[in-house]
């Protein structure tokens, strides 16, 4: 039996790696070598970027590399791949799929997007209408996806499609890895309230995907998608942050540096938000420690729910604190950013962009149901569509 990996053993392994690989050298070669050495995701299996170590030891590795000035893998640019595609491929993919996709995903050679939401299937994701029909040894995909982050940069997409409309909606779904460069894939920008076109709508017209790009069994797409969704909510709401990391840090700095803006009422509110942000940060640490024992559970939905409400309240208080100054937006250009940067933008941008936090990654209304039913054990809402064939449901 192999010896358990310790924090000290990881530090020594990183130091040995750095002795043989110059952090100031070729960025891609360095990242590829780090993956091959098992120092990408330390909790992943050996040969797939990891060492089979406890998940809680990942910060030991990341901090050691950061202290040495090593290049990162642009995590904000490839967040969908890191937080959603990778754990889903690891859990449900074949050996060939894991070997093909995980390394270029982690090194940021291939960007991923999420082809889940549709104009008629957002909160009710199991109601997707995009069809996948057998075509010889592959599949033909037709449909439309919407609110697709990074589709304009993506090489691959995780795709949920309907393969059997004659069974109940959850049973007729299959999960695919979609080639975003395949003929028939069209990406169009969607301009938001912020002025940017961060999101996209994606049209799929006769897109042919080989069966080797199917993830999981036919008809079991909902089970695969749940792995994605649980990891997505942890990635959004449970990100690792230092104290005063994220948006609360911006508000706290403004409060300290601009005493002329302070009022008694806002003092109480800022302090209350600071405490909530710290409580959420510590809860996130606890959740990530629990993940060492298995897959994310419904607790990640509670984290994401709390995160959405908190970011909206923090951004609102920042605008209120700054007064008229807080309403001055930096620009309204229809930029198509490569990554989401809340901290590097102005207060109006943060306030507008935070409105999407209660929609993306599962609406707050849906997440409240998940927490109520799966965490608190309350009775489920009455549902009329669980036993009927999807094709018979009104749309």
Query: What is the Cα–Cα distance from 201 to 188, expressed in whole angstroms?
Result: 5
Tokens linked to 369: 């149901």
The DSSP line for 19-86 is HHS-TTS-HHHHHHHHHHTT-SSTTSPBTTTB-S--GGGHHHHHHHHHHTT-----TTTSHHIIIIIH
Burial of residue 91 (number of CB atoms within 10 Å: 0-12, 13-18, 19+): middle
Q: Which helix (H) or strand (E) holds 102?
A: helix 95-106
- Kindly name the residue from 232, 269, 299, 318 that is annotated as catalytic: 232
Query: What is the Cα–Cα distance from 221 to 224, expressed in whole angstroms?
Result: 5
Within 13 Å and on the Cβ side, how many CA atoms surround 257? Answer: 7
Query: What is the Cα–Cα distance from 319 to 317, expressed in whole angstroms?
Result: 5
CA-nearest of 352, 342, 83, 356 to 233 is 83
Tokens linked to 271: 């302090």
Cβ atoms of 157 and 115 within 8 Å: the answer is yes
Query: What is the Cα–Cα distance from 342 to 334, expressed in whole angstroms?
Result: 16
Query: What is the Cα–Cα distance from 316 to 310, expressed in whole angstroms?
Result: 10
- Catalytic residue flag (residue 232): yes
At residue 70, what are phi and psi to the nearest 5 degrees?
-70, 150
Burial of residue 324 (number of CB atoms within 10 Å: 0-12, 13-18, 19+): exposed
CA-nearest of 37, 102, 105, 40 to 71 is 40
How many Å from the N-terminal Cα to the C-terminal Cα in the chain? 56
- Residues annotated as catalytic are 232
């Amino acid at each position: 039996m192999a010896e358990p990996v310790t924090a000290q053993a990881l530090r020594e392994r990183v130091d040995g790696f750095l002795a043989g690989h110059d952090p100031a050298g070729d960025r891609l070669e360095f990242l590829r070598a780090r993956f091959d050495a098992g120092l990408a995701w330390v909790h992943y299996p050996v040969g797939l970027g990891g060492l089979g170590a406890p998940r809680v030891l990942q910060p030991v590795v990341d901090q050691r590399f950061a202290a040495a000035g090593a290049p990162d893998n642009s995590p904000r640019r490839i967040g969908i791949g890191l937080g959603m595609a990778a754990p889903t491929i690891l859990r449900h993919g074949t050996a060939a799929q894991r070997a093909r996709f995980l390394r270029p995903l982690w090194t940021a050679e291939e960007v991923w997007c999420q082809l889940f939401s549709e104009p008629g299937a957002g909160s009710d994701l199991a109601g997707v209408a995009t069809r996948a029909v057998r075509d010889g040894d592959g599949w033909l995909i037709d449909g439309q996806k919407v609110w697709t982050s990074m589709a304009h940069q993506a090489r691959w997409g995780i795709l949920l499609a309907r393969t059997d409309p004659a069974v109940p909606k959850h049973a007729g779904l299959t999960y695919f890895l979609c080639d975003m460069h395949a003929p028939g894939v069209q990406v169009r920008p969607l301009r938001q309230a912020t002025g940017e076109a961060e999101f996209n709508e994606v049209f799929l017209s006769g897109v042919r995907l080989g069966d080797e790009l199917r993830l999981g069994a036919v008809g079991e797409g909902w089970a695969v998608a749940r792995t994605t969704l649980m990891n997505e909510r942890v990635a959004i709401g449970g990100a690792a942050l230092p104290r005063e990391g994220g948006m609360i840090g911006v508000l706290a700095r403004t409060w300290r540096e601009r005493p002329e803006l302070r009022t008694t009422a806002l003092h109480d509110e800022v302090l209350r938000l600071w405490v909530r942000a710290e409580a959420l940060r510590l809860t996130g640490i606890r959740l990530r420690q629990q993940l060492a024992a298995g897959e994310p559970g419904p607790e990640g939905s509670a984290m994401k729910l709390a995160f959405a409400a908190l970011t909206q309240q923090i951004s609102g208080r920042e605008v209120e604190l700054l007064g008229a100054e807080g309403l001055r937006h930096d620009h309204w250009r229809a930029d198509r950013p490569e990554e989401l940067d809340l901290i590097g933008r102005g207060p109006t941008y943060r306030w507008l962009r935070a409105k999407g936090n209660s929609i993306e990654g599962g609406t707050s209304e849906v997440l409240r149901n998940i927490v109520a039913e799966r965490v608190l054990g309350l009775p489920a809402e009455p549902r009329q569509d669980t036993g009927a064939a999807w094709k018979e449901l009104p749309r």
